[in-house]
């Protein structure tokens, strides 16, 4: 065999060995990388990493840490009535809240009222409104719905895409009213008492009726 052919064959063998060498290295790296990767269904992963929402703890935290400031800054019921009479749209936008699109809006209001009658499930009272008298109903038994939650302005629907969680917050807020607010005056109120109250109210912005409006209290105080 000619010397040139021998040299060419030798060089070819070196090239083949080099390809095999690097090919084996790449294969080994690929095997190590494959062994280090763990595949898992997204649904399984989400179920492991998702933190279960605790409506009781969440609601109590809001009630204790953030709601007091909201109660302190609640708009006067008389002021809200005057404001809606002057510019309803502006007053509704500024002083009310709602988690849904529609006519129903909620506000946190404060008022001083005179107790007229104490019933089993509500207190009838009056509030001076200029030269007139406004009759109100203070719920003391059937605390339900979303009025307290929405009137507080502390919950945003974008933070709770799960409707169940939103409803749970309402239920816990209502429960706190029944267990912590109502007992303060339940069985103590009588006709002629004057009270200070901070409460949630529901308004239909297309048909606002102030006479006989129902208040869901979040704070009640019998005045001396």
User: Can you spell out the DSSP letters for 42-70?
Assistant: HHHHHHHHPPPP-HHHHHHHHHHHTHHHH
pLDDT over 70 (residue 45): no
pLDDT over 80 (residue 25): no
pTM (2 d.p.): 0.76
Over residues 132-187, the pLDDT tens digits come to 999 999 999 999 999 999 999 999 888 887 889 999 999 999 999 999 999 999 99
Which residues, including other chains, have CB under 8 Å from residue 66's CB and lie 6 or more apart? 154
pLDDT over 60 (residue 112): yes
Q: Any bridge partners for residue 196, and if so which?
A: 112, 221
Domain limits, the chain: 3-37, 47-222
Q: Which CATH architecture describes the domain 47-222?
A: Beta Barrel (2.40)
């Amino acid at each position: 065999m000619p010397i040139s052919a021998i040299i060419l064959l030798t060089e070819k063998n070196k090239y083949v060995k080099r390809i095999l060498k690097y090919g084996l290295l790449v294969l080994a790296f690929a095997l190590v990388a494959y062994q280090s990767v763990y595949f898992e269904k997204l649904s399984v992963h989400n179920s492991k990493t998702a933190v279960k929402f605790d409506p009781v703890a969440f609601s109590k935290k809001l009630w204790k840490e953030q709601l007091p400031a909201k109660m302190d800054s609640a708009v006067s019921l008389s002021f809200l009535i005057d404001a809606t009479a002057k510019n309803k749209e502006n007053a509704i936008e500024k002083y009310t809240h709602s988690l849904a699109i529609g006519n129903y809006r909620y506000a946190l209001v404060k008022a001083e009222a005179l107790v007229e009658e104490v019933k089993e499930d509500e207190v009838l009272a009056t509030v001076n409104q200029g030269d007139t008298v406004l009759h109100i109903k203070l719920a003391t038994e059937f605390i339900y719905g979303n009025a307290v939650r929405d009137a507080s302005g502390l919950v945003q629907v974008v933070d709770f895409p799960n409707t169940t969680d939103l409803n749970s917050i309402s239920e816990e807020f209502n429960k706190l009213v029944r267990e912590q607010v109502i007992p303060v005056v339940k069985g103590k109120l009588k006709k002629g008492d004057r009270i200070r109250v901070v409460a949630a109210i529901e308004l239909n912005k297309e048909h606002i009726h102030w006479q006989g409006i129902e208040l869901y209290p979040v704070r009640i105080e019998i005045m001396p």
